[in-house]
Amino acid sequence: MPLSRKPNRPQRPRRRSKLRIVLLSITSLIALIIAGLAIFVVVAAAGTPKWDPALLNNSKQTSYVYDKDGVEFALLHGYENRQTVEYSEIPDLVKKTFIAVEDKRFEQHFGVDPIRIIGSAITDIKTRSAREGASTITIQLARNAFISNPTEKKFTRKIQEAILAIQLEREYTKEEILTFYLNRIFLGESSFGIQAAAKTYFGAELEDLAPAEVALLAGLPQAPSQYNPYYHPDSAKTRRNIVLGVMRDAGIITPEEYAKEKEAPFTYVESMKKSRGGAQKTEVASASYKFPYFVDYVIEELETTYNLAPDQIFSGGLHIYTTVNPKIQAAAEAAFADPANFPQGINDTKVEGAMTVIDPTTGEIQAMVGGRGYTPRGLNRAWQSKRQPGSTIKPLVVYGPAIEKGGYFPGTVLDDMPVTYNSGGSSWSPTNFDTATKGWKGLITMRHAVEQSVNIYAVKLLDLIGVDYGWSFGKNNLGLPLESGDRVLSLALGTTHASTLDMAAAYGVYANNGVSINDHAVVKVLDSKGNTVITPKITKNRVMKETTAYIVNSMLRSVVTNGTGTNAQFGNWAVAGKTGTSSLPDNLKYKTGNTDAWFAGYTPNYTGVVWMGYDSNPDLDKQGTPGPYYLRSVYGGGFPAKIWKKVMTAAHKDLPVKSKFDQPSGIVSGSFDKKSGLLPSSLTPTEFISTEIAAQGDLPTRISDVWIEKEVDADHPNMLPSPNSQNTITKIFLNLPDRDPAWTWPSNEIPYKPPTEVAPDPISDTIKDPDIIEPVDDDDLPTDSSLPTPVLGNVEYKSKTSKVEIPITNLSGNPKNYSAIVYIQRPGQLQGMIPVKVSNGALSFTLAIDDKAPTPGSYFFRAAFQNPQKTEVGPSSNLVKLILTD
């Protein structure tokens, strides 16, 4: 019998069975998810705050502020800048704009907008983010009125907000909800509601606002601090113009109005910033609590960093734990309260000041004083006043970046001589603060330039490493508030603007061995029930090599031990610091003084920065003439450094002394030539050989090439030998062919300046200069060959006093126990001589005779050392000349 060819039928039911199982599984899973969601929603709904319409009008509880040890020191309770308006008083332009921006289907939905929720979900899925919001105006009102911590981002809160929003829609009309919302919404700068915000940002009534002004207000609810024109004008303008575009697309304004309004300036904001440093803040009911400047900054941090509204801060019953160190804060306030710590003011106007102290290892702000007299919620100069930091910027944008870049070390040598930079058709020739009085410094090391705050060196070094590199290091590595316009060489001299908080945070990176930690004043915030509202996220980033930080610490340590900051040293503590002053504006450039004085310093424990100056603009007074409000003879190493020392002495009391900064691995040391920054050569004089540290790989490897040997006439050691010189010697000189011959060399380099004149020929030359009517021979005084031969520098003449000043040195160093005989030949007269005392390495005497000014013509000078105990004089110096004209 043939085999059957029919398929095996029992297999089909098996396939159906598998499919049924899969479908049942999926259905069950969906059912479980729905059930789980339903349970979650029920649980979340059960925790919805009690419906209480009275909350729409606020309830108030005192908030408590604690120091770093958890000790309560302040109570916050106040009244907000809140001004309510009726629905009929709100212009249609305002109503339509807020609805178009915040909730365009406001009139159609029932408190929750399903279309917006679905659209937001789709966008989040596409972008793989959770940035799209679905909050309606009603939901925002519910959140602000009924949710205890509206900044908490949890799905549970979203469900509760939706339930409350639906309840609001059942109880109130759309007009009432919009009125509640526009009167309650927080718009930054302590302003609640659109009427208060109109006054805050424009100084105007609501009914008088232009479209651009309404657009700014409507753009603020998304991020009041981020779009605040007082602090972020560029972001505020961008956001405002986006809203203007929405208004145009919705037909609220015309395209012509859009084109006009998008260029509107923030005129009122700028005037408020100039007149009072910013907007009017929420006033506290009492300012009698301790540490008011610090508390003001805590309030600012809560508002701007954590987006807490002022009513939460002042009336939410919060427990605010801060970083303030009572010992340091009290010392700082005492220092600023003592008039002896400040110079005398002008016209009853006080010299102001500010100070910020930070723990560099934690980023915690230990103390903050914003002025000499506190005004509740007034100008806090410690963080609000951005002033030119002068030379305190140099380690942040020049020296630190150079060491980090590599190839430089504290012994790197540059020439402190005149330099001119040309850019954009204009030229700039920087000078040092003491160039006019002390002259140029010549070849100096980086450490010396830091110690003595030498401007030319800093500018030349920034030019070498690149302005962009120094600017980026300061901004991105150290967090300085640099702008694109600061990318110029003058940045090396502190032409940007910064606060004491900015500078303390930046210097703290060096104190913390190259690790940056975000500065903060808030440790945590609990609500009235003990629930955590805020826990700051503290970030740490290594922004430079440990070796860079250590080398900068070493150089700034020298500023305090040997340089401009010696007034800051206390005890045996390792103190590093930098002084700074900022120059007067152009209209006061012929006056002596400065606008700002700074001291930035730190120990391994604390970093502190002090600023001193006037609040008023020193450029012009009301009549347009130069104003008087600038500092006279006040420098960073004076009053600011002394205040710093007083505060830091108190801060370090009873702490174990740290007399040095910890040295990391990778630091090496070696000998170098102080006039080239290279390895000493066989010609390098011993006085110019020193030892310096460097990061491994940055010590020089080349031999110094700045020294040369030349033969000179033995009888005229500062002159080249003539063809018939009877006696010559070999001397060492500096070979600096790029130096302009007209430049005056510094006193320590003059002995090594190569001669250019030829000595008198003993056979053919009887008189070298035709103006000399008699040979300049030695006098009849007995000579002492054991005395050194002096070397005279360039003659300086002061016509008002008829005084001559001539630097005098010798190759073996200036003898302190010698006087000098000066030989003078006046025009048309025989040579005479006078005894002159050597003072500070120079000869100073008058050319006047019987109080009569010297006659015009050529004057010749020589000198010889004399032992005051004997009559003998030493060998004569080189001949120098002075020509007086009518």
Q: Dump pLDDT digits (tens) for 41-64.
A: 444 444 445 555 555 655 567 889
Mean pLDDT of 133-139: 74
Contact 61, 315 (CB under 8 A): yes
Q: What percent of the chain has pLDDT above 70?
A: 83
Q: Please give the single-letter amino acid code of residue 519.
A: D
Q: Provide the b/e sequence for 116-139 (b: ≥16 CB within 10 Å).
A: bbeebeeeeeeeeeeebebbbbbb
* pLDDT at residue number 107: 85
**What is the pLDDT averaged over residues 488-512?**
97
pTM tops 0.85: no
283: pLDDT strictly greater than 70? no
d(CA 224, CA 203): 18
DSSP letter string over 683-738? TS-GGGEEEEEEETT-S--SBP-SEEEEEEETTBTTSBPPTT-S-EEEEEEE--TT
Q: Side chain identity at 318, as an amino acid letter? A: L
Report d(CA 856, CA 800) in Å as an integer. 14
Q: Catalytic residue, from 63, 80, 102, 385: name it.
A: 102
Question: What is the pLDDT confidence band of residue 647, given thresholds at 50, 70 and 90?
Answer: very high
DSSP 375-406: -TT---TTTS--B--GGGGHIIIIIHHHHHHS
Pick 792 or 677 by higher pLDDT.
677
pLDDT surpassing 80 at residue 621: no
Q: Which is more confidently placed, 764 or 873?
A: 873
**Residues in contact with 760: Cβ distance below 8 Å, sequence separation at least 6, in sequence order:** 716, 722, 766, 767, 768
Greatest mean pLDDT among 264-273, 621-630, 678-687 lies in 678-687
Query: Span 782-806, mean pLDDT?
Result: 85
Q: Say whether pLDDT at 746 is over 90.
A: yes
Confidence of residue 375 (pLDDT cuts 50, 70, 90): confident
Q: What is the mean pLDDT of residues 541-554?
A: 98
Nearest of 157, 142, 82 to residue 314 by alpha carbon: 82
pLDDT of residue 118: 62
Chain mean pLDDT for the chain: 85
For the record, the structure tokens of 434 come out as 């003491």
pLDDT band at 241 (very low <50, low <70, confident <90, very high): very high
CA 697 to chain centre: 30
CA 235, 238, 242: angle at the middle one, nearest 5? 140
Rounded to an integer, the average pLDDT of 147-175 is 71
Cα separation, 110 vs 174, whole angstroms: 10
pLDDT class for 186, splitting at 50, 70, 90? confident
Q: Is pLDDT larger for residue 111 or for residue 811?
A: 111
With both helix axes pointing from N to C terminus, report the angle between 193-202 and 174-184 in degrees, rounded to the nearest 10.
Answer: 40
Would you say residue 424 has pLDDT above 90? no
Question: 876-880: long-range contacts (C-beta < 8 A, 24 or more apart)?
Answer: 876/778, 876/789, 876/823, 877/718, 877/789, 877/790, 877/791, 877/792, 877/808, 878/716, 878/717, 878/718, 878/719, 878/791, 878/792, 879/768, 879/769, 879/776, 880/792, 880/793, 880/794, 880/795, 880/806
Per-residue model confidence (pLDDT) at position 5 = 43
Answer whether residue 588 shows pLDDT above 80: no
pLDDT above 50 (res 778): no
| pLDDT, greater one: 376 or 414 | 414
Q: What is the pLDDT of residue 357?
A: 98
In angstroms, the CA 403 to CA 695 distance is: 8
> In Å, how far are 78, 353, 506, 517, 599 from 513, measured between CA atoms?
42, 29, 12, 11, 20
| Separation between Cα atoms, residue 865 and residue 875, nearest integer Å | 8
Instruction: Identify the weakest region by mean pLDDT among 241-245, 528-532, 851-855, 867-871.
Output: 867-871
* Residue 275 bears catalytic tag: no
Examine the pLDDT at 777 and tell me if it is beyond 50: no
Q: Which position has the higher pLDDT, 492 or 200?
A: 492
- 333 as an active site residue: the answer is no
- Catalytic, out of 391, 453, 582, 877: 391
